[in-house]
Each structure stands twice: as structure tokens, then as C-alpha cells.
Structure 1
Amino acid sequence: MLPAPRPPRAPLRVLPLLLCFLLLAGCSGRPPGSAAERDVRGAVADWSRTPPGRLAAIPLEDWAYEVASVRRDGVRARVRARLSYRLAGYDASPAGSERELELAGDGGTWRVLSDRPAPGAPAQPWDLGEVTVVRGAHVLVLGSAARETLDEVAAGADRAVPAASAAWPGPWAGRVVVLVPGTLDGMARLLGRPAEEYRGMGAVTTGRVGAGTGPADRVVINPEGYAELSGTGRRVVLTHEVTHVATRAATTATTPLWLSEGFADWAAYRGTPTTPGQAAPALARAVRRGELPAELPPAQAFAFGGDPQTLARAYEGAWLACRLIAAKWGEAALADLYERAGREPFPAALDEALGTDPAALTKAWQESLRGELGP
């Protein structure tokens, strides 16, 4: 991830949502134990049939808790469960997370006292406080940030959706859910990761890669990093992240990370007057020093916690590689390469989509770097 105002990057493989397809609350997959435990499970099932009233503004459906375990201590019980739900009109598959519920018993009757994320599990938007809902033409924004911020994000995401669709010809829903917490710590809680991993970033995209039923993607805004971006920077950030949502079904473990991140940047800069020198300053400095990359950016160069300049050069190089492919072979060929790379070995995808091989592509990319970034 790059510090603002560079567009942030979406960790495609490390931030999956906990997805499940559970329809019945209170069903654990194993026989319950004592009568008291059955009563606890029954109380959870009854309590979890409908979302809490304070969430009425959120378009929730298929709301369900699956009880995994029950621990009793006298008149108290602690339950581990998995929540699953869908946002109506936006989620093709359920989103959710592991939860921990506390119950109190009185004369054989149990009632739920609290419901919170299980230790180490990501929070849900309502765990951070009151949720404001903003609807756009293509987006649903949920957040605890200031209403002005939520409105601005919704407007920007509404512009990003058609921009992503114009760059990506493949099928996708054409709509997106954006979460806007009030703080960086809130963002970290939604992602279940340390806050330091996201400091200086503007946003990330969660979701599971791979074909099949579309996962419940979320674009999660870092309000601190986002606030530091210019208007152009915010547009680039949102288009980049929405493009990840658009290409999710075509993105698999075989898709090179440079192609995934480079395509998202290419979609974000597409049609703008941004020059390589403006959007790739770190790589430009390296090329002028005679440090021409020997290969297309490897996956490890995109890792969190590494050298910021190495990370910046990786993203900039990935964008310029996709920019080169679109200019030399055509935008349709770039999209074709992306689709093929998600389902077959990359050399075969290159040969079929571009009629070239990895060595020739690398050489063409290096030559373009010299010509566009060199002295």
C-alpha cells in the first residue's frame, strides 16, 4: 500500500470476508448437550430471527446465526456463533463474521445480553456505533463518519462504477457497497487487522477471488488517508477499488498480482491526461539512476510492511505494464489477457491474448520505461 496521495491498493488474497450459506439460526451441525444447553441454543435461535431494530435502515436479508459452541457457568452462558446476512440488492452471496454472544438465565429462561465480534474476528459496521445509510445510483454507503463525508464518498463511488464498467467488459453486478468508518481504528476493526497496516492508505477492497457465485465485496475507506487526497486522488482511489470489485470473478490465484493491481490503476487513470512521470515518480527516479527493473513486479513486492519505495515502484510498474499492453495490443486484448490469466498458466494466456511470451513482454515493458521515464 502506498501513502497518500498515491491510490491505495486492495489486498486481494489476504482479506477475505467470512462467507457462509447458512439458512437456519441455532443449528450447530452436532447434537446439543444438556437440556440447559438446548435452552441456550433455542434462545439464540429465537433472538436471531430478525435483525435488531436499530439496524432497520440497513437493507438486511437472510439474517442468520449458526451456533458453534456453548459454554455455561451457572446462570451465564457464552456462545460462539457465525452471523451471515446479505445486503438486499447488492450481495449475491452472504457476508458475515464470527460472533460471541453472552446470555443470562433465570428460571430456565435465557436472554441475550450482548452480541460482539469474536476475538480476532472482524467487526460489522454497527459494532462501531450508529450507522448512517446513503444510497446512490450504483452504490450503498454504510458508515459512522460525518454525513458530509458519506455523501462525498457516495457521489465519488457513483462516478467510479461506470468508469470501471467502461474499462472492464466482463460481466459484473455494476453496484458496490462502501463502508466508511469514522476513524482509522474503526477501519482496522472492520478488517480484523492492525491499524498500522492501513495508515496513509485511502481504501482497500475485501472479497474472495475466484469464479462462481460473486462474493460479498466491500470497499472500506480509511477516513484519515482519504481526507488527505486531492479530488483527483479520491477519484483514482475509488475507481481503482471499484475495478477490483468488477474484476473479482475473473481474478483467481493464478492471476499475477501485477496484472490485477496494474489493471485497476489503468482503469483509474484511463481517459485522464495523467502522464507516467506524474503517476510513477518513484519508478521514474529509479530509471534515471540506471536501476531498470529486471522483471515485471513480483508478488512479494506488493506485500504489506515492506519498503515504501519498493512498493511504490511495484504499483507504478504494474500500471505502466497494463498501459503498455492497452496501447500496443489494444484494450480488448488487455481484458482478454486478464480473463485468460485467471484460468490458465500465464505464458499460455499471453500467447493466446497477445501472441507474445513473458520474455518479450518484459523486454517491451523495459523499453517503454526507458522511453517514458528515462532522462
Structure 2
Amino acid sequence: MLPGPRAVRLLPLLLCLLLAGCGAPATAPDPAGREIRRAVADWSRQPPDALAALPLTRWTYEVTSVRRDGPRALVRADLSYRLAGYDTDPAGSGRELALAREDGAWRVRADRPAPGAPAQLWDQGEVTVVRGAHGLVLGGGGQPPRTLEAVAAGTDRAVGAASAAWPRPWAGRVVVLVPASLERMAELLGGEPDAYRGLGAVTTGRAGAGPGPADRVVINPQGYAELSERGRQIVLTHEVTHVATRAATSATTPLWLSEGFADWAAYRGSDITPERAAPALGRAVRRGELPGSLPDEGAFAFGTDPEAAARAYEGAWLACRLIAARWGEDALVRLYEETGRRPLPDALGRTLSTDPAALTAAWREALREELR
């Protein structure tokens, strides 16, 4: 703002368990603690039925604490897992496991998100898997296969568009989550539903170079369903572009450039005009409210004034559109790369031979001309 697809069956699971030293000090061995951790290891070899269709190649629990109260125990653990063919770096999740001692043995009775940790899709019920040429679509809550197949086809197109706009190496594969509702989406993201209301999708994953993060595009089924077919494709391409550019994105990348580039990739090659694609900003410009500066970080925050957020996204897109038109598409890509390594003024000087003030002035003039 995460060729014909087909449903896939269970792939072999390679399950393992890493046990961290926790519980009593080495000088005071805790046999019960060892039994509890062993029970977690035994249980992990039989994953929940909801995981049956996931192409897992890694499933690891690292126990971080054990709290025992008579015949009951609570275990905190860090789950690490990888989806075959899609994750170059494992995804993670904080988990809490409840165990009970029954018939002389400890057994896991519940596995849930740790307090404060987001839910996983399988916490919400059985997961349906549809695979496209470049996307793995995971549906929750009984999403119909035809919906997931349409998302997979759109994801394939989005990967092609993102790769054309970002001609740099990246995995070229994406995992898309389609939960059952807006509320379920919020559970996956660890936020409140109102923060995502009206959005078509968002992307997770950490920014920066190094091992590729396990990005997920998470669709808001409510907002996504309200979009036209073209609107859905724009949303998917925008989010997939975030995945493609992730390794080049850092804390020094301005949010207007990150969001604007994703929209530029989504609109690139289309016949859409600024008047049609930037209605909120157009209304402001025609009222005489020409923005004085490029959108700041806070303008893009979830849950803010929808009209203000729309103006921020539209302005960011028009800034990237201006750069591509005046300095060239390759210059825009190089600017994105440079801002991931150094502050914007230095990056602008190296790539466009300009500075923030001159770029802002050119952008404001373009807004006057195109949105009057």
C-alpha cells in the first residue's frame, strides 16, 4: 500500500527442534524441565492439521522459558519456519505452549501466539494453498479456491510488473496471505482493525540488505473485494514491488520514495492520468492548497485522516513519476538504491545532480501543471 495456479498437496515436512538452555541453573538440574522440553520436541514432530498443506522445509521451536505449576506448565518459544521455494530467510513467531502432566507424561495441549505476538494464519483454522508461477497464496477461514486462484494469477502479473520496474536481482517469488476478514487480517499484523480499514493489502518484512526477509503480502479481504479488477492489480503490484525493493530499502530511504516508487511501478506503462490517479491531491491543488514539501513520514501512517493519506500517496507517486520522466527510469532506480545507503541530499547529488529544494520546486510546479 503482500501460468494457471493450482491447489497443492502436502509436501514433506522436515521438522526439528532447537532447545535453548532455560529453567534451573546448571548446578541444580531440573528433571521436570527436561521432560517438558522433550515433550515439546515429541509434539513438534506431529504438526497441527491446519499445517498439512504448507510446503515447509523447516519448523523449529527454540524454547526460551518454562514455567511449571504442579501438573501444568507454560512454555515460551520462538518458532522459526521456512516455506520451500519462497523463503530465503526463515519467518518467525513468538509462541506459548500449554502442557499438562497426564498418566506420568507431559503432553502439549495448546499452541497459541505468545502474549503480544501476532497470530499466524493457521491459528485461524485450516489453511488452503494455491500455487501460481511466482506466488504462493495461503487462504484462511474457508476462502473459496476461485478467490485464491484469482489472487495467484494477479500475483504472477504483479511479479512481472515489479521486475520490469526494478531491474535488480530479487527472488521473484511472493507469499500472499488471504485471511477471512479484516479482523483476522489485524490479528496477523498485531494491530487494530481500524488501522487497516480501507486498505487493499499491506506488506510485512524487515528492510535492509543481508539475508532475504520472509516477506508476506497480507490482503484485506474487505477492502480488496471493493476494488475493481484494475484496482486489485494496482494494489498487488504496489505490494509486490515493496518485496522486490526490500533489500535496497533502509532507514535512510524516504517513505515518499518507497511508497511513490511502488505506485510508480504499479501505474507504469498504463494510460492512467494524474487527474484520475490523484483525485485527493487534485482537489487540494484546485483549492489553492499546494503542498509546500514532499510528504513526510507521518503522512503515510495507518489510521490517519484518509484524505490526507491519499494526498501523501498521490504526491509520492507524482514525485517518482516526475523523476522518471525528467531524469530517466534508470536514474529513479539508482536514486532508490543510493537513498538506502546515504541521506537524501547526498543521494540526489550523486544520481540527479540536484538537491531537495530544487526537486521539491520541480515537483510543486508539476503539480500546478498537471492537477490544475
Output the TM-score relative to the length of structure 2: 0.92
**In structure 2, what is the Cα distance between the partners aligned to 1:328 and 1:84?**
45
**In structure 1, what is the Cα distance between the partners aligned to 2:117 and 2:49?**
23
SS at match of 2:59: strand
Q: Which residue number corresponds to residue 229 of structure 2?
A: 231
Q: Which residue number corresponds to residue 360 of structure 2?
A: 362
Q: What is the CA distance between 1:168 and its match in structure 2? A: 0.3
SS at match of 2:304: coil
SS at match of 2:335: helix
**In structure 2, what is the Cα distance between the partners aligned to 1:135 and 1:254?**
35
Residue 184 of structure 1 aligns with an amino acid whose one-letter code is: L
Residue 118 of structure 2 aligns with an amino acid whose one-letter code is: P
Contact kept in structure 2, 1:103 and 1:112, CA below 8 Å: yes
**In structure 1, what is the Cα distance between the partners aligned to 2:223 and 2:252?**
31
Residue 310 of structure 1 aligns with an amino acid whose one-letter code is: A
Contact kept in structure 2, 1:50 and 1:63, CA below 8 Å: no
Q: What is the CA distance between 1:45 and its match in structure 2? A: 1.8
Question: Which residue of 48, 51, 56 maps to 2:44?
Answer: 48
Q: Which residue number corresponds to residue 61 of structure 1?
A: 57
Q: Which residue number corresponds to residue 340 of structure 1?
A: 338
Percent sequence identity over matched residues? 71
Question: Which residue of 167, 192, 195 maps to 1:194?
Answer: 192
Q: What is the CA distance between 1:191 and its match in structure 2? A: 0.9
Residue 272 of structure 2 aligns with an amino acid whose one-letter code is: T
Q: Which residue number corresponds to residue 38 of structure 1?
A: 34
Question: Which residue of 75, 83, 86 maps to 1:90?
Answer: 86
Q: What is the CA distance between 1:77 and its match in structure 2? A: 1.0
Q: Which residue number corresponds to residue 211 of structure 1?
A: 209
Aligned-pair Cα RMSD in Å:
1.4
**In structure 2, what is the Cα distance between the partners aligned to 1:259 and 1:54?**
39
**In structure 1, what is the Cα distance between the partners aligned to 2:199 and 2:113?**
24
Q: Which residue number corresponds to residue 15 of structure 1?
A: none
Q: What is the CA distance between 1:46 and its match in structure 2? A: 2.2
Q: Does 1:27 align with 2:11?
A: no
Q: What is the CA distance between 1:53 and its match in structure 2? A: 4.8
SS at match of 2:117: coil
SS at match of 2:307: helix
Q: What is the CA distance between 1:52 and its match in structure 2? A: 3.5
Q: What is the CA distance between 1:29 and its match in structure 2? A: 3.8
Cα shift readout 1:206-236 (whole Å, capped 9, x = no counterpart): 0000111110000000101000000110010
Q: Which residue number corresponds to residue 311 of structure 1?
A: 309
Give structure 2 stretches of 5+ with no counterpart. Answer: 3-14
Moved more, 299-308 or 351-360: 299-308
Runs of 4+ in 1 over 3 A off after TM superposition: 29-33, 49-54
Moved more, 318-327 or 67-76: 67-76
SS at match of 2:110: strand
Q: What is the CA distance between 1:312 and its match in structure 2? A: 0.9
Residue 334 of structure 1 aligns with an amino acid whose one-letter code is: L
Q: Does 1:123 align with 2:119?
A: yes
Give structure 1 stretches of 5+ with no counterpart. Answer: 1-8, 11-22
Contact kept in structure 1, 2:50 and 2:125, CA below 8 Å: no
The 3 A distance-change label for structure 1 pair 30 and 69 is: closer
Residue 137 of structure 1 aligns with an amino acid whose one-letter code is: A
SS at match of 1:169: coil
Residue 351 of structure 1 aligns with an amino acid whose one-letter code is: G
Contact kept in structure 2, 1:26 and 1:41, CA below 8 Å: no
Contact kept in structure 2, 1:49 and 1:64, CA below 8 Å: no
Residue 116 of structure 2 aligns with an amino acid whose one-letter code is: G
Question: Which residue of 67, 71, 75 maps to 2:71?
Answer: 75
Residue 69 of structure 2 aligns with an amino acid whose one-letter code is: D
SS at match of 2:95: strand
Contact kept in structure 2, 1:84 and 1:95, CA below 8 Å: yes
Cα shift readout 1:339-360 (whole Å, capped 9, x = no counterpart): 0000011111101111111111
Residue 183 of structure 2 aligns with an amino acid whose one-letter code is: D
Q: Which residue number corresponds to residue 17 of structure 1?
A: none
Contact kept in structure 1, 2:22 and 2:65, CA below 8 Å: no
The 3 A distance-change label for structure 1 pair 125 and 294 is: same
Cα shift readout 1:42-65 (whole Å, capped 9, x = no counterpart): 111222246345423210112100
Contact kept in structure 2, 1:143 and 1:180, CA below 8 Å: yes
**In structure 1, what is the Cα distance between the partners aligned to 2:182 and 2:68?**
36
Residue 306 of structure 1 aligns with an amino acid whose one-letter code is: T
Contact kept in structure 2, 1:43 and 1:111, CA below 8 Å: yes
**In structure 2, what is the Cα distance between the partners aligned to 1:217 and 1:198?**
18
**In structure 2, what is the Cα distance between the partners aligned to 1:31 and 1:81?**
13
SS at match of 1:363: helix
Contact kept in structure 1, 2:159 and 2:237, CA below 8 Å: yes
Question: Which residue of 316, 325, 328 maps to 1:327?
Answer: 325
